[in-house]
Amino acid sequence: MVAGYLFSRNGLLPPAVTRAASSITMNFSMPALVFASIVPAFASENISALGPLSLLAFIYVMMGLVFGLVIREVCYVPRNFWQGIVVATAMSNWGNLRENLVVL
């Protein structure tokens, strides 16, 4: 990080390169880090818990989807955002999953 700061400070790292480096970091390196930290956690003793865990994740997403449909029908939602509210509630807080898992 210090080298990147010094390079950009001295003009050796143009803005296009920093955008590309951050894109590679967020789209490739972070998911690879999450995958590498999750895979060793699965062993023959706990692999049986993967099915109920997946089922619970599916139930949570479906609950969000149903609540989104209820919110769309009960509350005022602008017509051009009808599908947006359903998608937003179905996805809930999965948008920052990478950052949450890295902390673990």
Question: What does pLDDT average to in each consecutive run of 10 residues of the chain (104 residues)?
Answer: 82 84 83 83 81 86 88 88 84 58 47
Percent of the chain's residues with pLDDT above 70: 88
Instruction: Note the pLDDT of residue 94.
Output: 58
Length of the chain: 104
Helix (H) or strand (E) holding 32: helix 30-38
Instruction: Note the pLDDT of residue 95.
Output: 52
The residues, ordered by sequence, that sit 6+ positions from 88 with a Cβ below 8 Å of its Cβ are 68
d(CA 63, CA 35): 26
Q: How many CB atoms lie within 10 A of CB 66?
A: 13
Instruction: Note the pLDDT of residue 96.
Output: 56
Can you read off the two tokens belonging to residue 2? 């210090």
